[in-house]
Structure 1
Amino acid sequence: MDPDSMGGDGGDVYWRRRMSVLVAVLVVVAVVAWACSSGGSGPERSSSAQTSPSATPATDPLLAGLRTLAMGTASPSPTPAPKESPSVRPRRPGEPCQQDSLVLSLQGGKEPIYTGETRPSFIVTLVNTGPVMCTADVGPRTMEIRITSGADRIWSTADCVSGVGTEVRELQRGVPYVRTLEWDRRRSSTDCRSVSAAALPGTYVATARMGTLRSGKGVFHLR
């Protein structure tokens, strides 16, 4: 086009049209850029922005100001107070063991049936599960091994104990105290009769007792 023809009113119209097209292009580019940066990727992008507000920068000052105002005035949900655990007095090493920190168990011999003169044997263990070392009386009166047959009390380590009958031991945490014993197949009694009768053939039950603690039952038979 001849430059001379753009003079006067015709030239003004030409440049106005050129500026209008340029402005329209810039507006379209700005709208597309704003849409891409403010969540044009769909619901998933919006969800991540909710969980992490600082992950997506705000390109619009008005939106940024509204978001800041909302975050500053919103009341946070109250955080529940932690439940208080019951206070437990720390135990010092060497104090008497508590019953609820001890585990008492009994195991019978390899054979559940004993014939002839074979004597039943047992292994008794006591384990401290407390936080520190403690002491316990494992004497025959306190830690009793008892044998019964039905309702009949046949034999007990607490019968006719000579001496003081106490034996205090230190129990380290998790380290079992072990006691082994054999039963001579004879009855015992609290009145300490000089002659004890032999136990008859039948089914018997051995248990270990210590205060309120009870071991499992060890069932065996005499033939």
Structure 2
Amino acid sequence: MDPDTMRGDGGDIYWRRRMSVLVAVLVVVAVVAWACSSGGSGPERASSAQSSPSVTPSADPLLAGLRTLAMGTASPSPSPTPSATPKATPSPRPKRPGEPCEEKDLVLSLQSGKEPVYAGDSRPSFIVTLVNTGSVMCTADVGPRAMEVRITSGSDRIWSTADCVSGPGSEVRKLERGVPYVRSLEWDRRRSSDDCRATPPTALPGTYVATVRMGELRGGKGVFHLR
């Protein structure tokens, strides 16, 4: 055979063998790289697949609805306390004419006589007035027990219209609005008591105070002297 031809064929075989070895090395490197990349990504994918439901639990509307229902059953939110509605104050019933007078509508007063000093046998006199300031006519008991005139000297109770009253002792009168009821009385200068003595003693000379009262009403006082 031609030596040149053999030389050329031998050179081709040589380069072909070199190329085969290089390709084999590249294939091995590619296979190793693929194995590493697939082995590392596998667990990561599994991990991400396992953890994804806990990261985004609201993606499933059914689970979200069940979770909301369970939370509402476990701790129900307190219902708001209704605000107290103020009760309407009923308007007072209008008074009818002839009903008993209320004390707040009455004005009671007493005036003593013109003489502050009574000598000898002169008797002290007083004028008592009662006025209805209400809106309509009303009635009031102005008898000697209900509307009492009392005379005192210091702490000593000397005389009272409520002592030794004969009869029922009550006297109901109609009081028109603004029209005063007037009663005048005279004291005989004798003491009185609730035991109604036959001959009460005469009051001694001194300073005396006359007052009038009617329930809780008070009508001032009058000061005078006996000589």
TM-score in same-fold range (> 0.5): yes
Gaps of 5+ in 1: 1-83
What are the equivalent positions in structure 2 for 1:1-223 lying under 5 Å apart? 87-223=91-227
Task: Kindly state the Cα deviation for residue 195 of structure 1 after the two structures are TM-superposed.
Answer: 1.0
Q: Which has the larger radius of gyration?
A: 2
Q: Per-residue displacement from partner, 1:116-160 (whole Å, max 9, x unpaired)?
A: 000000000000000000000000000000000000000000000
The code of the aligned residue for 2:164 comes to C
| TM-score (norm. length: structure 1) | 0.61
Q: What is the rounded CA distance, in whole Å, between the counterparts of 2:207 and 2:185 in structure 1?
A: 19
More helix by share: 2
**1:202 and 1:175, CA in 2 relative to 1: closer, same or farther beyond 3 A?**
same
**What is the distance in 1 between the residues matched to 2:183 and 2:150?**
14
Q: Deviations over 1:166-200 (max 9, x none)?
A: 10000000000000000000000001111100000
Separation of aligned partners in 1, 2:168 and 2:110 = 24
One-letter code of the match for 2:185?
A: L
Distance 1:201 1:152 in 2: 14
Aligned to 2:23: none
Q: Tell me, in whole angstroms, the C-alpha distance in 2 between the residues paired with 1:221 and 1:89.
A: 49
Aligned residues: 140
Partner of 1:43: none
1:91 aligns to what SS in structure 2?
A: coil
2:198 is matched by which residue type in structure 1?
Answer: S
Alpha-carbon separation, structure 1, partners of 2:138 and 2:225: 37
2:163 partner letter: D
Matched residue of 2:220: which SS? coil
For 1:100, what is the secondary structure of its paired residue? helix
Distance in 1 between residues matched to 2:89 and 2:129, nearest whole Å? 32
Identify the residue that residue 64 of structure 1 maps to in structure 2: none
Q: Which amino acid aligns with 1:198?
A: T
Give the whole-Å Cα distance in 1 for the aligned partners of 2:187 and 2:137.
31
> How far, CA to CA, are the matches of 2:193 and 2:103 in structure 1?
28
When residues 86 and 149 of structure 1 are mapped into structure 2, their CA distance, relative to the original with a 3 A threshold, is farther
What's the C-alpha RMSD, in Å, of the aligned pairs?
1.3
The CA distance in 2 between the partners of 1:206 and 1:103, in whole Å, is: 17
Task: Report the alpha carbon displacement of residue 87 of structure 1 after superposing the two structures with TM.
Answer: 3.0
Deviates more, 1:86-95 or 1:156-165: 86-95
Cα deviation, residue 85, structure 1: 8.7
Task: Summarize the Cα distance change of 1:102–1:116 in structure 2 as closer, same or farther, 3 Å threshold.
Answer: same
* Amino acid across the alignment from 1:102: L
TM-score, normalisation: structure 2 = 0.60
Identity among equivalent pairs (%)? 78
Query: Within 1, Cα distance between the matches of 2:154 and 2:90?
Result: 43
